[in-house]
Structure 1
Amino acid sequence: MIQKGLKGIVAAETEISHIDGAEGKLIYRGYEIGELTSAYSFEEIAYLLWYSELPEQKELAALKKELIKNRTLPVHMKNILEHLPKEMDLMSVIRTAISSEGNESYGWKPTISQAIRLTSLVPTIIAYRKRQLEGKSIVEPSKELSHVENYLYMLNGETPSKAQTLALETYIILTLEHGMNASTFSARVTASTESDMVSAVTSAIGTMKGPLHGGAPSGVIDLLDEVREAGSAESVIREKLEKGEKLMGFGHRVYKTHDPRAVALKAKLSELVGEDEWLDLALEVETTAVDLLKEYKPGRSLYTNVEFYAAAIMKSIQLDPSLFTPTFTASRMVGWTAHILEQADDNTIYRPQSVYTGKLYDKPSMI
């Protein structure tokens, strides 16, 4: 029996994460995601995914130091960024720049140090390219700020507010890893050939670029803009539901109940009430929408997904929609590299079969 897209086919064992769509749970290395976002930083959870355990203070300090050390782009990468066509999309820019990192120091087997370096480089590539296209001076990486603070600092040239940093850091933690999705599968397939980590990550970036995987939540942004302009969440949402329109940011293909990532984001953003208008608006829209969905679509259990609050965070930090998928990519570098390392530890090359459905011709007669 053919399973197109390999849906439902188990192709690997993993200790990295677990998704329970029926119960609405996402687990990283044995910890439920809400527990992690409520108490730990990006650096601590990245360490967990790479090393299989949460760090002690000494280990955390060493990781932070290594992340900071690897933030600065090498000269050859800056030269490449300066000469790429202006019309080249940002995901292709990231793919090209990261590919140029490949050299003889990356070989089989991949290492955690390689994972840390690649994770450190991507935010700098994004910020460098953004400011380059805007004609603004390049902001060099900070030697003091955290991973997420530094990303916002390099993008905008100023230290971000606590609310903005906390909101984006929570979102990034929630998107570090999400099982055997298309881009993670690409990374593992490439790694299974005993290719290097740069090549495997480049494969994943190319996959993430596709709109069916890494697309921006533009529909949610439009909804928030509409509500803000109208001044009434209920009137806008009720009108959409009356017309039979899909409410963007609600429901999920995998999670059949609450999206645990959205729950964790809401909990964190609720701590910031009154500190940012877009985050406040998102909380108001969600409450109104969930109530109206129960009225118009009883029994459907439609709740916010992670893209809903991602859109609010984008508006809060004034992140252009073109930067959403690149930011998602910067986050998912941790998950990809964790999977590459796991693949290398117990490797078997991926080699699925296919069914030939073409024509069969008779043997040509000899004249």
Structure 2
Amino acid sequence: MRDHEPAAGTAGRRLTTRETAELLGVKPETVYAYVSRGQLGSRREPGGRGSTFDALEVEALARRNRREGGGSAGQGGELSVRTGITLIDEDRYYYRGVDAVDLARRHSYEEVAEWVWTGRLRPDAVFTAPETSVAAARRAVEALPEHAGPTDRLRVAAIAAAAADPLRFDLSEDAVLGTARVLIPTLVAALPPARRGRPRDQGPLAHRLWARLTGQDADEASLAALDSALALLVDHDLAASTLAVRVAASARAHAYAAVSAGLGVIEGPLHGAAGGLAHRLILEVLDRGSAGPVIADELREGRRVPGLGHRLYQGEDPRARALFGLLEEIPRAAPALAAARDIVATTARHTPLHANVDLALAVLTASCGMPSSASETIFAVARTAGWIAHALEEYGERPLRMRPSGRYVGPRPPRPLPG
């Protein structure tokens, strides 16, 4: 039987739940999970005791699940992609098998990025960018309207840097790593400084980024917290933006374009912009003196309280725990830390949710005089390293494997031409 042909005897008839489960190789409960996710239609026949399923539709789903390549549907219809970069397990996460929190505690963002890319540490790694790349990115960013957001600037900077790189289509590992080591500092250098004067684009990346986020003077503890935040956020398995990067890389888009795909997704309030919502929540709690009335307003308006809970962790987000520990060493962070604890304690009376990394980032940004958009900038710069790692993995796979099949639910053809 060729892959596009229906099984003998199935065309035109309905399958029972048991037959459908056997054909898909799953449990009957999983069949209904497919239905709830909109991946499979069901119908209850008059006088029948159970649901029935269109045989051709079931065959099509079975073909998608059997399709070769890393992108495949696992039980319950969720996309599964082979990766050797990040493992999340029992409220901890690991970069290439090493505890990510321990790496961030002992190594700089640049060193962690190198580990994620290659599985090798480069002690004292520092990323620098050629003036041609920086100049092109700055000119493009400076042409944007004043109200442009941080992700707008980063996206434009990435496109401009790509246009200035005639070797961008070289997808060999060495070439992509070279691009990564240039692109990340270019993104930072293209951001406008937080106070007058052009900051020096030398030294650790966290120091350079600080000058783009706040006009306050940096102290050692605050810089360490920012550097660790970057390292903690390098990667987090297949987040939505990372999946977009892998789809672009599967189509053999160059590294700049793959990063641009990630930046296009990260702006959403359920992803990179979530820290900004938590930042504003922290400021409101500080302004009103208590989390109680602030949380009440959020719930009254039907909004989800930002900075709490994470679908991949039953307990506290390990990134938040690590960052909170560093923030406790910063005296000026004490009020925002207290506000965050008040938020967690207040919401626990209703729903026992733990703090996530967005709330920890909000404490950092609110206590260091940064705007609410700063956490989005931190998130995007940090995650660029992880996106590069995933692009590298995808370049080693079969091209265009990230190509799911749609389940057509429109009118059945043939239809007459519209009048």
Partner secondary structure for residue 94 of structure 2 = strand
Q: Highest CA radius of gyration, 1 or 2?
A: 2
The answer for the alignment partner of 2:259 in structure 1 is 201
Residues 124 and 305 (structure 1), Cα distance of their counterparts in 2 relative to 1, 3 Å cut? same
Unmatched segments (≥5 aa) in structure 2: 1-33, 40-72
User: Which structure is higher in helix share?
Assistant: 1
Alpha carbon RMSD of aligned pairs, Å?
3.0
2:338 aligned with 1:284: yes
The answer for the alignment partner of 1:109 in structure 2 is 171
Residues 156 and 29 (structure 1), Cα distance of their counterparts in 2 relative to 1, 3 Å cut? same
The answer for the alignment partner of 2:409 in structure 1 is 357
2:109 aligned with 1:42: yes
The alpha carbon displacement at 1:87 in A equals 3.8
2:383 aligned with 1:332: yes
Identity of aligned residues (%): 25
Superposed CA offset, 1:204-230 (max 9, x none):
111112333221434433443344345
Q: Is the 8 A contact 2:316 2:355 kept in 1?
A: yes
The alpha carbon displacement at 1:155 in A equals 4.7
User: Normalized against structure 2, the TM-score is what?
Assistant: 0.72
Between the aligned partners of 2:269 and 2:38, the Cα distance in structure 1 is: 19
**Number of aligned positions between the proteins:** 339
The alpha carbon displacement at 1:360 in A equals 2.5
Superposed CA offset, 1:281-325 (max 9, x none):
24434545555555x24xx54211111111010012211113332
Amino acid at match of 2:286: R
The alpha carbon displacement at 1:162 in A equals 0.9
The alpha carbon displacement at 1:113 in A equals 1.1
2:134 aligned with 1:74: yes
Moved more, 183-192 or 88-97: 88-97
The answer for the alignment partner of 2:4 in structure 1 is none
Relative contact order (alpha carbons < 8 A, sep ≥ 6): 1 or 2 greater? Answer: 1
The alpha carbon displacement at 1:244 in A equals 5.5
Residues 218 and 187 (structure 1), Cα distance of their counterparts in 2 relative to 1, 3 Å cut? closer
Partner secondary structure for residue 303 of structure 1 = coil
Between the aligned partners of 2:321 and 2:77, the Cα distance in structure 1 is: 26
Matches within 5 A, 1:337-352: 337-349=388-400, 350-352=402-404
Q: Is the 8 A contact 2:133 2:186 kept in 1?
A: yes
Q: Is the 8 A contact 1:123 1:327 kept in 2?
A: no
Residues 348 and 284 (structure 1), Cα distance of their counterparts in 2 relative to 1, 3 Å cut? same
The answer for the alignment partner of 1:32 in structure 2 is 99
Between the aligned partners of 1:215 and 1:155, the Cα distance in structure 2 is: 15
The answer for the alignment partner of 1:118 in structure 2 is 183
Amino acid at match of 2:189: T
Between the aligned partners of 2:279 and 2:343, the Cα distance in structure 1 is: 15
Q: Is the 8 A contact 2:285 2:294 kept in 1?
A: no
User: Normalized against structure 1, the TM-score is what?
Assistant: 0.81
The alpha carbon displacement at 1:252 in A equals 2.0
2:114 aligned with 1:60: no
Residues 151 and 292 (structure 1), Cα distance of their counterparts in 2 relative to 1, 3 Å cut? closer
Between the aligned partners of 2:294 and 2:134, the Cα distance in structure 1 is: 53
The answer for the alignment partner of 2:88 in structure 1 is 19
Between the aligned partners of 2:232 and 2:113, the Cα distance in structure 1 is: 11
The alpha carbon displacement at 1:183 in A equals 0.9
